Amino acid sequence: MGCDYLCLGSLSSARSALSLVGATIVGKLSDSTTLDEKLGGNKRKFVLVIGLLAAAGAIISDHQASTISDLWVGIFPNALQQNMSVCKALLGEYQESIPGGVTAVDRAWSAGMLGMAAGFSLMIGPFVGAILLRTYQQAVAAGLCSLLLAALLVYLLPSPKMQPKNKNRQLKKGFLSFIDIPSARSPAALFLIGTKLLSALSFHIYQTIWSVYMKDRLQFGLSEYGRFFSTIGFFYAISQGFLAKKCLERLGGENPRGRTLLLAFSSLLIGAARYAALHTMNTLAVYSIFSFKVTVYGVMSTIISADMSQIAAPEDLGSFFGLFTAVEAGAGMFGSLLGGALWHLHGSLPLIVVVGLNLSIFASALLSYERTVASQHDVCTEEKKKVH
């Protein structure tokens, strides 16, 4: 089965497009009141099972593929693989059910632990596949067994308490009611969406030049790629699970100004690390810079995820997180194309744009995050404490 770089690029773009559509559909489905009533409050668990079945379908389809057409068929189940955003929404419901609510630090810690689990899976999966498994058939069997175990864990999850619905919300009519997310209209939500878009664009534009750099200048082969990404995955997981909470505690996690400064300077450090990584040919320095970068990025992502779960209404959590996944998928499609176009115009343009995007996040966070997001986070917390 032959497939050139153009084919692979088309498949990647189609996968991102499907993820964009699927994230919106799955998010709305996980918020469905009708589905929740029929399942006795287990709507998100049901959607998680759908995602696991879709993952199994994708594995089986790829295993059976023998032509390029088969590969195209296999990407469609990816549209329903949105379990990470559904898990974030479910976690948000668990947090809402705690009497008195949870603090900003504890909210960030729980969101970080979820991210750490995903990070460790990205680190352990390739290692197990390369070291312990001998054939592709064994890898497929191991993947399906893992999904079966995940389904059992989903079944054992407790059902979150039903949240009262806000009957005063103004919803769009017709088709617009499907794509309308009331929680996404607030200034805090719009700010976070803009930050996520800029961050994702920076990442995907940078990847277009970083992949070439690793292959041509660092002479990375398959084994080097595996070691590199396993190392990066480890530091990313640790940063979300442990360091994010420590940083928030040290810098005043309950203080809006402390979270603002942490987010702003995290973006600045990420931009500086990306610049430095492309200006060294020392492999140890590359490992060190990237380990530092993903650690800072993990802290930044944890703060944003925690604030997202706080500003969204309980009845919009799934749609809200699905929207952010869709934004990221859209940035993946556009960012890769933009990075390639900039590279053809001039080799230094992609890095200039990447650093510029990170500087934009730094400036906007420093000027607006405390007023639009962090303060709103604290207002919501106080209101929920009064309710309980």
pLDDT digits (tens, 9 = 90+) for 16-35: 777 778 888 888 888 888 88
Short-list 205, 236, 224, CA closest to 343: 205
Q: Is the pLDDT of residue 272 over 90?
A: yes
Cα–chain-centroid distance for residue 139?
25
E-strand ranges in the chain read: none
Contact 303, 108 (CB under 8 A): yes
The model's pLDDT over 36-55, given as tens digits with 9 standing for 90+, comes to 778 877 888 899 999 999 98
- What domains sit in the chain, N to C, each tagged with a CATH number? 5-155+184-387 (1.20.1250.20)
Task: Specify the length of the chain in residues.
Answer: 388
Give the integer Cα–Cα distance in Å for 146 and 153: 11
Task: Return the pLDDT at 75.
Answer: 73
The model's pLDDT over 173-220, given as tens digits with 9 standing for 90+, comes to 444 455 567 778 888 888 988 998 999 999 988 988 887 777 777 777
Task: Return the pLDDT at 360.
Answer: 95
Q: Is the pLDDT of residue 1 over 80?
A: no
The H-or-E segment that residue 107 falls in is helix 104-131
Give the integer Cα–Cα distance in Å for 232 and 239: 11
pTM > 0.95: yes or no: no
Give the integer Cα–Cα distance in Å for 181 and 85: 15
Report the greatest alpha carbon distance in the chain: 63
Residue 69 vs residue 121, higher pLDDT: 121
Give the integer Cα–Cα distance in Å for 103 and 335: 35
Give the integer Cα–Cα distance in Å for 267 and 150: 34
